[in-house]
Chains A and B, each alone.
Chain A
Amino acid sequence: MAATHPIGRGGQYEIVHDSIHHYESNASRSRNEVRLQPLPRNGVRLERFLLEVTPAAEMDAQVDHFGNPTWLVSVEAPHSELRVTARSQVSISPSDGIATAALPWDPDLLSRNPTVEFQLPSPRVPELPAIKALAREMGLREGDWESLRRANRDLRLRFEYLPGSTVVSSTLEEILERRVGVCQDFAHVLIALARHLGWPARYVSGYLVPEAESEGYSHAWVEIGSSDGSWLGLDPTHKAETTEWHVAVAVGRDYSDVSPLRGVFVSDSPGAPPEVSVRIAAVDPFELRRQLHAAKQTLQDQQ
């Protein structure tokens, strides 16, 4: 729950996303789609990306329908554990963060624009009467950017942030009923509200680079489609607009389009939930250069 960063403190960061999937009995082979490669965006450059998989796997990077780099990972050997580690090096150069507004859509024009895909109901964000009620309760107006910003700011007055209160598969209906959740749930609620108010809205999964050296974590937020073709980020968990410190990894209609790892394995027993850890650390560019130099030196020494 880091606050937003002071402007002007850019730099390079290393993000290590490590996940271990255990199978109770040996899987004779597995097929996995991995979405863990950061997207280059305004203010965020991807310097390096490395995906490590154990046991040894065949890999291929493709770009999915939403433009997300997607790694296809095939393991042929029997294995009881699959470990996927994504190492990303990103450089972030903050701008002075001029707040802009998303421009509303003419419903008829939106209905003929492919962007309408993000205004239609989606697997995890169906149309629900409870959303209509929530929009009324919050006094939100259709096609009004200020209303949407206010919804983003005020969502947590109505929904309690409670880690562990929900699971990845919790439905929107349950969230609206129980009024608790985590970032994934708040993102789904805000997407539902935005769509109800006539906006295309998409789900973004990624990382929030912490202010100080700390654990770092996966995060989820929302982007609203403006009729000028741009997308504006809203982070209901932090009651703020997004910044360059929000490093996006994948976008989609909702969580179902962006899961970091979707896999199928051939085994007699089901798998357990994965162990996931995320580490984010600042990299001093000189330190990096020194390391590279040292690595080269070692290589030369070996030859």
Chain B
Amino acid sequence: MVQALPDQSVIAPLRGGIQAPLTVAAAAERKRLADQTTAWFARNEVHFGVSVAGEVVQRPIPYDPLPRIVDSIEWAWLERALAQRVRALDEFIRDSYGDARILRAGLVPPSLVYGSSSWFRSCRGPAALRPGQVCIAGVDLVRVAGRWLVLEDNLRVPSGASYALASRRALADLAPELLAGVHPRALGDYPRRLLAALEHRSADKGLTVLLSPGPANAAYYEHCELARLMGIPVVLAGDLVASHRGCWLRRDGANVPVARIYHRYSPEFLDPLGGRDDSLIGIPFLFAAWRQGRVVLANAPTCGVADDKRLFPYVPSLIRYYLGEQPMLEQPLTIELENLSNRRSVLARFDDYVFKPVNGSGGKGIVFGPVASGEERAAISAALERAPGAMVAQSLLEIERLPCVASSGDLEWRRCDLRAFVVVDVDPWVMPGGLTRVAPGTDEWIVNSSAGGGVKDTWVES
């Protein structure tokens, strides 16, 4: 399992001769900045909830002060590639709630729509056919041998934009001279873009609110921070009431009309009559109001059908079918395991794969073949016997490792991905940077914050 460290060419000067900051500095200097930024995150309460013995504990998100730097030409290509992907996913969502042309064309198995627990019959109606079902997408990218690949599309409640903003602010506060040397593109436009995208979806006079499941949610910091930056209130389910005519905020005994809701819910919990009837945090008839265009939900509750991991292998076909274009981003081979022969051949080469639950998020339930314990292997085999459709296998990639600061101040190389944020107004706009997520140690594979992963800043050369 010991991996040869990448050679020093990875941190060679960038195009234009810019040296990645601090990689050639003294260990003590790096350690000092790492300590300062860690203290900054604690002081500013940039928290992410981690589950400890079944309880969510809010703690500062681990931060690595060495930024990832992305070349401007490479980034311009990524912007086009991400926009292409999100446009195709949005087309698919609307088609699946409309004429289902792609199913009739035989390009996507209908079970991925009609058999998906994320395709809601209660969402059928005019609102599901409008462009812009996706308001914000979080696309997880990895770099493998210099090429960018997509690992996941997150369209339900992609978290992380506020952590990217905090990562930048920490460096701007503590090491402005580093930023001055490279001049990365600024991120501060994000809240304005998001608010504009929400307002683009409805010109109604009513309020724009952020609907949060509450302080027990892992990303509660983000809910409050984004709402603060957009200048909109954070509301909880109990504050809202809906009927087929619309949605209202109950304030001081009066009902104030709500026109736009930026929600941070897994969509099945939004409305107990439209999604899961055991949802205690839902707002009855919210879907009925949304269906008729009386209130905007961002993202639309329809989006889950397109980020189901079983659909993932078909995304390149969606791009060809809806846009008539060749897919720009590659993606690793993803194998559905309902088919017995697939299952056999995958289990026979267990070490070559990573196993992912189809409806999971936050890295929960993911098992990496080469580092799985005997117990984990047995559990995967048993789970696949029981419910072969509940997991997919994805080819395991040796993803890029980036230099990080170890506790000694020395450099160590950890696996990193990049969550890119795409905001869809009239056209998709990509936040120039995004959230680089860092595995918690040199031998770790998983980068998710819920699994103890950290973050670092992402600099796009201007």
Contact = CB atoms under 8 A, between A and B. Distances in A.
A91 interface: no
Interface in A33-56: 33
Given A262-B273, A264-B284, A72 B114 contact: no
B423 interface: no
B285 A72 contact: yes
A121 B115 contact: yes
Given A31-B273, A112-B110, A117-B110, A74 B243 contact: yes
B179 interface: no
**Most chain A CB neighbours (cut-off 10 Å) among B104, B109, B242, B288:** B288
A264 B272 contact: yes
Given A31-B273, A65-B122, A72 B104 contact: no
Contact of B244 (A29, A65, A72): A72
Interface residue range, chain B: 20 to 34
B218 interface: no
B411 to A, nearest CB: 53
Interface string B88-105: 000000000000100111
Contact of A31 (B103, B115, B285): B285
26 contacts: A31-B284, A33-B273, A58-B244, A60-B244, A62-B244, A62-B291, A62-B292, A64-B121, A72-B243, A72-B244, A74-B285, A111-B110, A112-B105, A113-B110, A114-B100, A114-B114, A116-B111, A120-B110, A120-B111, A120-B114, A120-B115, A257-B121, A262-B273, A262-B277, A264-B272, A264-B273
A114 B112 CA distance: 12
Given A31-B273, A33-B273, A114 B103 contact: yes
A111 B107 CA distance: 11
Q: Specify which of B105, B109, B242, B284 lies most central, judged by the most chain A CB atoms within 10 Å of its CB.
A: B284
Contacts of B111: 116, 120
A29 B114 contact: no
Nearest to B125: A62
Contacts of A72: 243-244, 285, 288
Main secondary structure, interface of A, reads: mixed
Contacts of A66: 121
Interface string A113-130: 110110011000000000
Contacts of B114: 114, 116-117, 120
B124 interface: yes
A5 B243 CA distance: 43
B106 interface: yes
A116 B110 contact: yes
Interface of B: 100, 103-106, 109-111, 114-115, 121-122, 124-125, 241-245, 272-273, 277, 284-285, 288, 291-292
B86 to A, nearest CB: 26
A58 B289 CA distance: 13
A62 B103 contact: no
B122 A112 contact: no
Contacts of B105: 112
A214 B105 CA distance: 51
B164 to A, nearest CB: 38
B329 to A, nearest CB: 28
Nearest to B288: A72
Question: Sorted from nearest, which 9 A-B pairs have the closest CB atoms?
Answer: A31-B284, A65-B121, A117-B114, A74-B243, A264-B284, A60-B244, A65-B124, A72-B244, A31-B285
B110 A114 contact: yes
A257 B109 CA distance: 23
Nearest to A116: B110
A27 to B, nearest CB: 12
A81 B341 CA distance: 57
Given A116-B110, A257-B121, A58 B103 contact: no
B141 to A, nearest CB: 33
Given A58-B243, A64-B124, 20 more contacts: A29-B241, A31-B284, A60-B288, A62-B291, A66-B121, A72-B244, A74-B243, A112-B105, A112-B106, A113-B104, A114-B100, A114-B110, A114-B114, A116-B111, A120-B110, A120-B111, A120-B114, A257-B121, A263-B273, A264-B273
Nearest to A32: B273
Contacts of B115: 120-121
B58 to A, nearest CB: 30
A74 B247 CA distance: 13
A147 B121 CA distance: 32
Contacts of B285: 31, 72, 74
A266 B124 CA distance: 26
A111 B122 CA distance: 23
Given A31-B284, A58-B243, A74-B244, A112 B104 contact: yes
B95 to A, nearest CB: 12
A114 B124 CA distance: 14
Contacts of A60: 244-245, 288
**Most chain B CB atoms below 10 A, which of A65, A113, A263:** A65
Most buried by A among B104, B111, B243: B243
Nearest to A265: B284
Nearest to B289: A72
Contacts of B288: 60, 62, 72
A263 B110 CA distance: 30
A263 B288 CA distance: 13
Contacts of B244: 58, 60, 62, 72, 74
B284 to A, nearest CB: 4
A31 B243 contact: yes
A121 B111 CA distance: 10
Interface string A206-231: 00000000000000000000000000
Nearest to B104: A112
A132 B455 CA distance: 52
Contacts of B291: 62
A74 B106 CA distance: 42
Interface in A105-156: 111-114, 116-117, 120-121
A74 B100 CA distance: 32
